[in-house]
Amino acid sequence: MSRAAAPGAAALALVLASAGVAHAGLADRIGATFALMAEDFARAFQSVEGLIVSEEGDTLYLDLGEGQGAQVGQEFTIFRKGAPFVHPLTGAPLGQFEEMLGYAQITRVQPRFSEARYVPVDGKPRPHVDDGVRITRGRLRIAVTPVLDLTGSKADLRRVPYLCTLVLERSKRFQVADPLTVGELFANGGARVEEVLSLPDRAMRMSTSLDVTGWVVPVLLERRGVTYLDATWISAVTGTALFSRRLPLVPPTAAEEQRFPWEPGVED
């Protein structure tokens, strides 16, 4: 290389190095930011049970208010209790049969009651007063999509669904579909994250193939020079957004502090 070309090469190397520094640790920063909002997701979908106390068309009124843990965006299963079932030998009552009637999505919460939108299920009767609603005590099976990067960062964010999965599983409230299996749905143009956000029918069909009750969609966006993580819950029942949280990305130093000392340095 000639001496004349040396300054140009040095400048190019400096630009490339600067680009690497700008993107270093972005996946870890997203994971650390999601960890700050994960408790909100677990709290929003905690186990809750109540009754329908009134109905007006497709609007249901539930006996669950703010004090009982009701939140806008929660999705309840509506059920009707039937005949009791007993032990075949002793005849002792063991419980009651239940019929699943549909879903109730909370749209407004008051101190002592909440309003919900009725989502019917084909072939099932309409709910009535005194029918029950609940969010199951079992773990909710969900899926995390790849990151939708609206900042144009060009960073490698493939690790983010794995980081989000670890956080959600740790809450003991969710069972998360294998990120590798989910990623294959979006690989090679098979599906797009934007479709989960904006096409309800598409989101519902993909939910059926994975047997999940909802999607968590992480979106990276920039507003007035600040980079945010927006995480949205998409219902597998209606394919619509029910719950969302947005936080500014934690600084690189804070993200690094989340890593164990024996972990290798960031490479994305």
Exposed / middle / buried, residue 128 (Cβ in 10 Å: 0-12, 13-18, 19+): exposed
Domain shared by 225 and 242, yes or no: yes
Tokens 């600040």 label which residue?
Answer: 226
Residue 4 lies in a domain: no
DSSP secondary-structure letter at 188? Answer: G
Residue bearing the bigger pLDDT, 216 or 225: 216
Encoding tokens for residue 243? 């719950």
Q: Which helix (H) or strand (E) is 35 found in, with range?
A: helix 26-44
The range of the structural domain enclosing residue 239 comes to 26-44+140-256
Query: In the chain, pLDDT over 70 holds for what percent of residues?
Result: 85
Domain shared by 77 and 163, yes or no: no
pTM (2 decimals)? 0.79
Domain shared by 61 and 161, yes or no: no
Residue 263 lies in a domain: no
Q: Which helix (H) or strand (E) is 99 found in, with range?
A: strand 93-109
pLDDT digits (tens, 9 = 90+) for 28-61: 999 999 999 999 999 989 999 999 999 999 999 9
Q: How many Cβ atoms are within 10 Å of 244's Cβ, its own excluded?
A: 15
